[in-house]
């Protein structure tokens, strides 16, 4: 099982598919346009210049991404 990695400690390899944890503090604008605390997880990949792209919403603010982890291995097919 993978553990969450802080973006302060290390970033994934560019283009690596990962799960990202997004946190937007109260008073900030989230991708949903709200000003309350917002937490979410998305499958995304990291690109040069500290840019994150989720597969459902496009670019994610790098300031909102606090942690990431590699995707788990897919299940074995019998």
pLDDT at 61: 80
Q: 52: how many CB neighbours lie within 10 A of its CB?
A: 23
Alpha-carbon gap, residue 18 to 4, rounded angstroms = 10
Q: How confident is the model at residue 8 (pLDDT cuts 50, 70, 90)?
A: very high
SS3 46: strand
Q: What angle do CA 69, 39, 33 make, to 5 degrees?
A: 130
31 has a pLDDT exceeding 90? no
Residue-level pLDDT at 6? 92
What are the tens digits of pLDDT across the range 34-69?
556 778 888 998 888 878 888 887 888 888 888 899
pTM, full prediction? 0.75
**What's the pLDDT at 9?**
95
| pLDDT tens sequence across 12-26 | 988 888 988 887 665
| Residue 57 in tokens | 């919403």
């Amino acid at each position: 099982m993978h553990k969450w990695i802080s973006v302060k400690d290390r970033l994934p390899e560019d283009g690596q598919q990962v799960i990202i944890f997004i946190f937007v503090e109260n008073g900030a604008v989230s991708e949903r346009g709200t000003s309350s605390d917002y937490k979410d997880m998305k499958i995304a990949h990291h690109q040069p210049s500290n840019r994150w792209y989720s597969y459902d919403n496009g670019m994610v603010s790098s300031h909102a991404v606090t942690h990431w982890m590699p995707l788990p291995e897919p299940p074995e097919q019998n």
